[in-house]
Chain A
């Protein structure tokens, strides 16, 4: 695994895009299998897409440990947990950034505590993907420079990826963010989405990493901005 890669990804830990791709695939397989078993055991939360409920499971599993996870597996409390996360975000905006800093610090501490390879860590990865992925049912995903790709996603209904500031900063502090963005790309590849790249002016380090993955996979992706 690529723990310790930090927010600059492979540059710090020397993991290759291929290693990260393999890790993510393994994680995804694990998550899918876990969810399938939960579904078979009667928890309908895991039988289909349910962002709020997966989110609830992730956060509660992280914070409350086994007891809370068991509670969630039994069903319920999803809305309450969902409200807690978003309530925290809203409260941060209202109360000023001191609270936001504290919330980020707390979340980063918890991320470090559970570790990226743990069961709760993997559920959290899925949770963050669910938060970050917009228009998830589209067959086309757009990535690229900000704000172009977000505008393209909104205007055309394409899938696009963006994390709330509070979560992104916490992920950065814990050194998880690079893998999380890569995870969204691999998920799109696995689901067969078309991938468009909208980057007419610059290509930052995060996008370079994602392009490296797509290029290495030889996945049929396309620049939106053709020659002038």
Chain B
């Protein structure tokens, strides 16, 4: 298994597996690689349609998507949703809140995420650009919290008495 060694390598991998985004005019907004933090990295792509953030966190790669008006910096905390969570919501499925433990090969992970994004791309763009996106985002996050409360009942939320 090869490890990503810097943000340029991460970007090259993303260009390989998500070339369809670049074909559609997506550009690189920001990227970062953290030597001091497990070799985690972030790459942010943007377009007029949506923002896509790729994050490797302790070997696990996550894709989160957000509306085009969101911040494009790597440390943005804003209105992003994890790809699988959003797709589950859009397809009326049980929400995947916990990222499955998958093989940790970078190419395998990116390939799987790429297929997921391609298959749902138009639906996602439409959802992220609706006028009531913030309300729907709140709804998804509320559902996520319900599942987290069920999964980890002894970990409290700030609202819990």
Contacts and interface: CB of A to CB of B under 8 A. Distances in A.
A165 B142 contact: no
Given A215-B155, A223-B156, A226-B158, A200 B77 contact: yes
Given A203-B99, A224-B158, 19 more contacts: A11-B101, A97-B5, A147-B34, A147-B37, A150-B37, A165-B36, A165-B39, A168-B58, A200-B77, A203-B148, A204-B57, A204-B99, A212-B152, A215-B152, A221-B154, A222-B156, A223-B156, A223-B157, A226-B157
Given A215-B155, A227-B145, A145 B38 contact: no
By size class, the interface of chain A is 35 or more
7 contacts: A7-B104, A145-B62, A169-B3, A211-B155, A215-B153, A221-B155, A228-B142
Contact of A206 (B37, B57, B138, B152): B57
Interface of B: 3, 5-6, 34-40, 42, 55, 57-60, 62, 64, 74-75, 77, 80-82, 85, 97-101, 104, 137-138, 141-142, 145, 148, 151-159
A197 B154 CA distance: 13
B60 A204 contact: yes
Contact of B35 (A11, A93, A202, A228): A93
B158 A162 contact: no
A201 interface: yes
B152 A227 contact: no
Contacts of A163: 37-38
A164 B157 CA distance: 31
A24 B99 CA distance: 25
A172 B156 contact: no
Contacts of B97: 203
A24 B8 CA distance: 38
Contacts of B101: 8, 11, 205, 208
Interface in A108-123: none
- Greatest chain A CB density within 10 A among B57, B74, B148 is at B57
The 5 closest A-B CB pairs, nearest first, are A165-B39, A226-B158, A204-B60, A228-B138, A162-B37
A4 interface: no
A174 to B, nearest CB: 14
A169 B104 CA distance: 12
Nearest to A147: B75
A93 to B, nearest CB: 7
B38 to A, nearest CB: 5
Contacts of B74: 147
A220 interface: yes
Interface string A188-223: 000000000100111111101001101100111111
Contacts of A11: 101
Contacts of B34: 146-147, 150, 162, 165
Contact of B62 (A151, A200, A204, A218): A204
A221 B38 contact: no
